[in-house]
Every structure is written in structure tokens, then in C-alpha cells.
Chains A and B, each alone.
Chain A
Amino acid sequence: MKTICFYFQVHQPMRLRKYRFFDMGKSHNYLDDAANRSIMQKVARRCYLPMNALMLKLIEENRGAFKVSFSISGPAIEQFRAYAPEVLDSFKKLVATGHVEFLAETYSHSLASLVDMDEFRSEVRRHSALMEAEFGQKPGAFRNTELIYSDAIGAEVAALGFKTMLAEGAKHVLGWKSPNYVYAGAVDQKLRLLLRNYKLSDDIAFRFSNRGWDEWPLTADKYVGWLADASNPGEVINLFMDYETFGEHQWADSGIFDFMARLPKTALAQKHGLRFATVSEAAGNNQPVAVLHSPHAMSWADEERDVTAWLGNELQDEAFAKLYALKENVRKVNNPDFDFVWRFMQNSDHFYYMATKWLSDGDVHTYFNPYGSAYEAFINYMNVLSDFTVDLDRALAGR
């Protein structure tokens, strides 16, 4: 019997306003509140609310045979509280069914695991505390920002007490091996890894509404056929994707909601031999088949499945280095107001906007980018960071 494991990532960055050189030292107001609010409300209306209602209905209809897992970033939770509290309520209703698992991640959707393990640990603990406070669940499974994983990060996550971690089923790491089994971490082999089946995940997340795709239109029957097919062997099929896929990246009129509405019943038909599980159940119910070695960081982004979407060009490296150089001073000042800025400045999205690789993945980058160019994104970010540094120095001096 094959297990289907749905995991959805929920995240909204805190977007910066146009912050000019002339604002420096005068205004410490960095966020584009209007954009953040209107985007949150739009996505709530198109995706979070209808999709949560659908998930609730499917879980109830199938009496728990259908299960899903989520992780929600800190900035997303903070913006739900501020702009769309009804979304938080609907997530709480899902928790109450007992068939939904919430995973831990970095609080700020940050890239700290690539540079500063100390900060990374503090980010993860903060997020776990948030999950417990909001949903009454202490996360036992972890997923890093953008599914970034390496042996070293895995070891750190295991040391933090997590039993399961998600990663990309990247071809350059797996080679001939299949993502449809549970693997063990290279350093601490007690850590279980679930690897994303990128082909089947992207059939929904990227290709669903693409009329140029030879499998269009994708129906629940056809898709369940692929999941169950003997040519797709294995024990766990991991379908990991952005939650915003539903209604936001794939619009409602593409039929994505109807597809999801039919999927559980179709899959649960006896002839297919499929069942659903949360992340921790899927990892716990299956033995690891092998150790996974990933000495270099991989992620679920772009063709390369590495971290070059966020780091690597001069702009990204400079901004990143200058940001993390502030850590000690932020700690010394020890003021929640500064901590708040420090955290949203760590959102990986800011660095994504500074990417300059514009080949096959350029479309995806442009879609998510509020700036005209990587250079504009960099200049704006550095203006904010410079002012924050000035403010921080003043606070330190006045302590």
C-alpha cells in the first residue's frame, strides 16, 4: 500500500516600501503596509479561505482518511493576525479535526541555516513556540526555508530534537534512487527524510493549467492513476508545494479546486491501494531504505535545485553579509522593535528579488518580484538596512 503525503507551505513575505536615501535617519518605517495588506487579503480570498474550507470538508467527509500537513511562516502568521484573522481561525478548525500536522520551520522564512547555526536554532525555536501557541501542537517534523537541506543542516535539525525533515528529491542528489521511500540523514541516521516527488508535485503546482501541456486537462482520475501505477513504485509519494498554488498560482477557473475536491475519494477507492498520511506518520510508518548524502545545500527552487536563487551574485552576497554582521548588535540592544525589523529583513524573498539569473526560471522570478530589476531591489534593501544600522548604532550608544 502506497502512502500519499501532502504538505503545503504557507508564506507571505513582508514587502519593503520604496525607501529612499532621503528617508535615511528620518523615517524608520520600512514596510509597504498597503501592499502587504492588499496582497494578504487578496490571497486570503482567492486561496486560503476557500482552500481551508475545502480541506475541512474533505477531512470530515472521509472521516480522517484524508490528511494533510502544513507549515506556516512567522511573517505569514503575523500578517494573518494583522490583516486576515479569519484565516487563522480557519486553520484552527483544521487543527481541531486531529488529522492535520503543522511542521516547524524558521520563523522568518530565513536563510540562516546557510550562514549562522546559532541564529538558525533561535529562529527554529521561536517558530516552534509560535506553532504551539497558535495551534497547540509541538512540531515533531521540520522543513527548512525553500526546502534547503544539507547533511550539516540535517544534523543540526536532529540535534534540535526533530525526528523528520523534508527535502527535495533532487536528481543530482538521488541519482538512480527513487524519492518514493524514506531515507535517513547522513550524520544523524535517526533523522528521517521525506523527499519531494518533484514530477508529481509540479504536475499540480506548475503544469495544472498549462494548455500547452500534453496531459492537459488533468483530472483526478488520471492523476490518481499515475500515483497508483506500478511504473511509479515506492512506499511514500511526497507531494510538497506552495499552498498558494490553489487559487493564486492556479486560478479557480482552471478547475484546481474541483480537482482537489475529487482527489481523496478517487484515491481512496480500494482498487488503488492508496492512503493518506501526515508527514510524521509517513516517516514513522516506513523504514528508511538508505542514507542520503547531500554535502552541499539543495533546495526546491529553479532548475538547479540549489541555493543560487538567493545567494551567489555580488548583490545578494553583499546584502546577506551586511545583514548578518548586525546580529550581535541586535542581540545587545535586546529590544523587540529592533528584533521585529531584524526578522523581516531576513525573509529569503528579499534576496530572491536580487537574483540576476534570467534563463528558464526568469519567468518565475519576475512573477514574484515587485521590483523592476535586481539592482532596484538591492538598492532599496540596502537603503533600509543602512538606516536600520544607523538606528541600531544610536540605540547601542544610548543604552
Chain B
Amino acid sequence: MRVLMFGWEFPPHIAGGLGTATYGLTRGLAKNGVEVKMVVPKAYGDEDQRFVRVVNASDVVTRFGDTAHKDIWDKMTFIEIDSNMIPYASPEEYFAKREEWERTGSVRTGGDIWTGRYSFSGRYGENLMEEVARYAMVAAEVAGQMEGQFDAIHAHDWLTYFAGMAAKAVSGKPLVVHMHATEYDRSGENINRTVYDIERAGMEAADRVIAVSNLTRNIVIEKYGIPAEKVVTVHNAVRFAGTVAEDVERGVEDKIVTFLGRITYQKGPDYFVEAAAKVLKKLPGVRFVMAGSGDMMNHVVRRVAALGIADRFHFTGFLKGDDVQKMFALSDVYVMPSVSEPFGISPLEAMKSNVPVIISKQSGVAEVLEYAVKVDYWDVDALADAIYALVQYPALSRMFSAKGLEEVTGLKWDNAAAKVKEVYQAAIDSLKK
């Protein structure tokens, strides 16, 4: 089977879970004998005048630091389209960057998701929607030139849905769209109507929709009105190759409770802070660490100061590369109190490092994990209780970390990819009828 995929190519530690997930999935697909032609947006800047270029797969692999299994990568083709689209960018953020570019001629990249996208060019769309449309036109061109070389089309997240639809129109091949997050997860009830419309149009045009969790599947069915029989849940998995948790020497004897992620509304950082204050009232030997950056960071810093816990609640700022592993290695408890999390891959990374995790019931990952403490994100008392227990009762934390490691080891991309392959087949069959 051969698939034309509109995906994302990112070193896993820089962006959020989407790059990591598409990367793991394509690897799994290759192992399942699926040939993937991967189309990714990549900002070239003004120096490179080409809009589309085919990249040697091994170059991409090297960027991921994954040089083993070269045979698998022989099954892949990488096509890069010059574009500044990046996942998680809201139309407002894009607009702000565009304005900055017009004012100053360059765009600052700081400790946020724009890191690593070194250029922003005038050749890109005036606003994100225009950019999405432009990307779709180039995608149609690519699909046309590759006629007869693929059996299905697979598009990841709304930014690439127009591209997927265009490719389907040109080629007549079935389209599978993959919902890694919905607009409701990103924005709560105050959704961006345009984004919502693109998501719905993509799913309506698709022959099958893959949701990363039952949580997401329900949102897709209820809030987007997509027929349930078209929507299939395929849970994400976690990759084990590459970095092994390093042995980091501890500077302080206290137990460390960690939040690692973007400090945004969706991730529930304020519930972590409130729970920390409760735990610190009872326990002296605990420290809390919030690792990451985001639009709620200043608010959270102020709240920590107002609660009078700033001597035991630390901020690391945005972590990259080895620092992420280092942070896991230093942690005794990992907390993901997300208000709304379609899946949530970071608890799996923590479990890989033998760290017991507490996750919110409002996360997709809660559906696949047995050995994780699950609480409602808003239930600060329950969260504080769970932190207290994992810090105070070594037997409990030993059990969670040992069983958790076992459990997470079983979540393989090969299995997830096999399911995705079945979805492709179903989509192909549905068109034949």
C-alpha cells in the first residue's frame, strides 16, 4: 500500500506532540509495509527560490537522530513545501508574526513553538488562512505530478486538510484525516469559527476520520456532526528508541513534582499551582517545578508569588533537547492536569523514565493507561491527595513506576500503525462500493 501523507516534520523535543506522533506513526507504517510519501511544510526563507523540493529521507532521519533501521526509511519519500505553517499556531499568532515581519523584516524566535523555524518570508500568505489555501494549491500540484504513485491520502490536523481535499479532488483517491486535536481543545468554548469550519469541511470530505482518543472521537461526532461509522479511534503510542533516561545527580534531597508542557489554558497550569500550595501546607520536603513557557506563564508566576510558595515552586523556562530528559530523571511525580487533552504523549515519556504520573480524566491518554492516577482537572483536592500519596508512600510510587514502565512499553507505534493501515483499507474499499 502506498500513501500520500500531509504531515509534520519536527525534531521531537521542539514542538509539541504532533511532530513526535506523525514521526512515530510513519515509522510504524514503514514497518507494516506501507510506503509513505511525506509532504511537509518547511520554511526556507528567501534564499531558496524553490517552492517544492524532494528531500532524501535519510537527511530527515538524521535530523531526528535516528540513523538505525535505514531499511525502513527506504520506503519513504520526503517532499518539502516552502511554507511557514506550523502546528498549534492560531490565526492570531500567525497574524502577530506576520506583522512583526512587516515591521522589522524578521521574526524573533524565542522559547516557544516558533523556535526552529528560522525564517519567515514575504512569500508566505498575508494571514494563516491565505497560507493554508496557498499550501493546498501547491499540494494539488504535487498530487497531480505523483498520479498513480499512491492509493490513499492522509492529512494531519486542520492546517493540512485543504491540501488533503485538493489532493483528493485531483487524484480521486480516498482521504483519511487525522484529528490530533479539535478547536474545542485549543480554545475551550470560544472557538475560532474559521478553524472549526475547516476542520468540519475536512472531515466531511474525508472517507475516514482517525481520532487520537475516544474523547476526541466523541467531540468529532457530537460537536462536528460527523457520522459515527466514519470515525475510528487509534490511540497514539510512544517511541522507545533514541534517548535513554540519563542518570542525573540530584542537587536537592526534596521530592520533585513536575509539570512539563506549554503553560497555556488547555494544559491546566493553574490547577497544578493550587494543588502545590495545598501539598506544601502539609509537607515540607517537596518542590514543584513548572517546565515550559506559554501565554499564561506570567499569570502563574504571580499566583505562585501571591500564594507565598515561590521558594518551593520553581520555573525552568522552555526546555529543549537533553534538558527534557534531565527534568524527567529528576522528577518523583509527573502531573498533567490538562483541561482538555485529545491524547497527551508527555505522561508516556515520563513513565518511560520510571516516573509515576498523575493525569486528568479529561485526557485521551487516560483511556489507555491503567497505572496512572486519574483525577478531574478541576478537583484540586484530589490532585493534592494524589501528589501527597505518591510522595509519602514509597510502596505506591514504586508500584506505579514499575507497572507503568511495563504498561508504556506495550504501547507500540507498530500496533497503532497496523490499525491505521486497516483504516486506509476501509477508506479504499468504501470508494469502490
A residues near B (Cβ < 8 Å) are 20-26, 314-315, 317-319, 321-322, 373, 375, 378-379, 382-383, 385-387, 389-390
Cβ contact within 8 Å between B314 and A382? yes
Interface bits B253-277 vs A (CB < 8 Å: 1, else 0): 1000000000000000000000000
Residues of B within 8 A of A379 (CB): 301, 314-315, 317
In-complex Cβ contact of A375 among B298, B306, B312 (8 A): B298
B294 vs chain A, min Cβ distance (A): 12
Given A21-B316, A322-B308, 4 additional A-B pairs, CB 8 A: A25-B253, A319-B310, A379-B315, A386-B311
Cβ of B410 within 8 Å of any chain A Cβ, yes or no, is no
Q: Give me 9 A-to-B residue pairs in the complex whose CB atoms sit less than 8 angstroms apart, sorted by A's number.
A: A21-B316, A314-B302, A318-B306, A319-B310, A375-B301, A379-B314, A379-B317, A386-B311, A386-B312
Interface string of B327-352 (1 = CB under 8 A from A): 00010000000000000000000000
For A20, the chain B residues whose CB sits under 8 A away are 316
Q: How far is the CB of B428 from chain A (nearest CB, A)?
A: 51
Binary interface encoding of chain B residues 80-92 relative to chain A, with 1 for a CB under 8 A from any of its CBs, else 0: 0000000000000
For window 269-304 of chain B, which residues contact chain A by CB distance below 8 Å? 289, 297-298, 301-302, 304
Instruction: Return the contact of A26 from the options B251, B297, B304 (Cβ within 8 A).
Output: B251
- Whether the Cβ atoms of A378 and B311 lie closer than 8 Å is no
Residues of A within 8 A of B323 (CB): 22
Chain A residues, Cβ within 8 Å of B311: 322, 382, 385-386, 389
Contact of A318 with B310 in the complex, beta carbons under 8 Å = yes
CB-CB < 8 A to A385: which residues of B?
A: 311
- A321 near B308 with CB under 8 A, answer yes
B252 at the interface (CB under 8 A from A): yes
Residue among A21, A321, A322, A387 having the largest count of chain B Cβ atoms under 10 Å: A21
Classify chain B: how many residues form its interface, as a range. 20 to 34
Q: Which residues of A contact B297 (CB under 8 A)?
A: 375
Give the distance in Å from the alpha carbon of A26 to the alpha carbon of B323 in the complex.
Answer: 16
Interface-central residue, A314, A321, A390, by most chain B CB under 10 Å? A314
The answer, yes or no, to whether B305 is at the interface (CB within 8 Å) is yes
Chain B residues near A23: list those with CB within 8 A: 251
List the A side residues contacting B312 at CB < 8 Å. Answer: 386
Contact, CB under 8 Å: B314 / A386: yes
The yes or no answer to B230 lying at the interface (CB within 8 A) is: no
Q: Contact at A21–B314, with CB atoms within 8 Å?
A: yes
Q: Which residues of B contact A (CB under 8 A)?
A: 249-253, 289, 297-298, 301-302, 304-306, 308, 310-312, 314-317, 323, 326, 330
A373 to B253, CA, bound (A): 31
Residue of B nearest to A373 (CB): B298
Cα(A379)–Cα(B314), bound, Å? 7
Q: Compute how far the CA of A25 lies from the CA of B315 in the bound complex, rounded to whole angstroms.
A: 15
B301 touches A25 (CB 8 A): no
Contact A24 B302 (CB under 8 A): no
Give CA–CA (A382, B305) in the complex, Å. Answer: 10
Q: Which of A22, A382, A390 contacts B310 (CB 8 A)?
A: A382
Inter-chain contacts of A373 with B (CB < 8 A): 298
Known A-B contacts A21-B316, A22-B316, A383-B314; A315 and B301 likewise in contact (beta carbons under 8 Å): yes
Instruction: Say whether B250 contacts A378, CB under 8 Å.
Output: no
Contact A21 B315 (CB under 8 A): yes
Whether A24 contacts B252 by the Cβ 8 Å rule is yes
Contact B249–A24 (Cβ < 8 Å): no
Known: A25-B251, A26-B249, A26-B251. A314 touches B305 (CB 8 A): yes
Given the complex of chains A and B, what is the CA–CA distance between A342 and B316 in angstroms?
Answer: 24
Closest residue of chain A to B298 (Cβ to Cβ) is A375
Which residues does chain B contribute within 8 Å of A319, judged by CB atoms? 305, 310
Do A21 and B289 contact each other (CB < 8 Å), given the known contacts A26-B249, A318-B306, A389-B311?
Answer: yes
B305 & A318 in contact (Cβ 8 Å cutoff)? yes
Supposing A22-B326, A379-B315, A389-B311 touch, asked if A314 and B250 sit within 8 A by C-beta, the answer is no
Cβ–Cβ contact A390 & B301, under 8 A: no
Which chain B residues lie closer than 8 Å to A387 at the CB level?
Answer: 251
Chain A residue, CB-CB nearest to B316: A21
Q: How far, in angstroms, from A23 to B252 measured CA to CA in the complex? A: 10
Q: Which residue of A lies closest to B297 (CB)?
A: A375
Given contacts A319-B310, A322-B311, A379-B315, contact A25 B252 (CB under 8 A): yes
- Measured between C-beta atoms, what is the minimum distance from A74 to chain B in Å? 25
Residues of chain A within 8 A of B330, CB atoms compared = 22
* Alpha-carbon separation in the docked complex, A322 to B312 (Å): 11
Taking CB as reference atom, which chain B residue is nearest A315? Answer: B305
What distance in Å separates the Cβ of A355 from its nearest Cβ neighbour in chain B? 13
Q: Which of A25, A386, A389 contacts B250 (CB 8 A)?
A: A25
Q: Which 8 A-B pairs have the closest CB atoms?
A: A25-B251, A318-B305, A25-B252, A314-B305, A26-B251, A314-B306, A21-B314, A21-B316
* Complex interface: chain A residues within 8 A of B315 (CB): 21, 379
Neighbouring A residues of B304 by C-beta, 8 Å? 318
Residue of B nearest to A325 (CB): B311
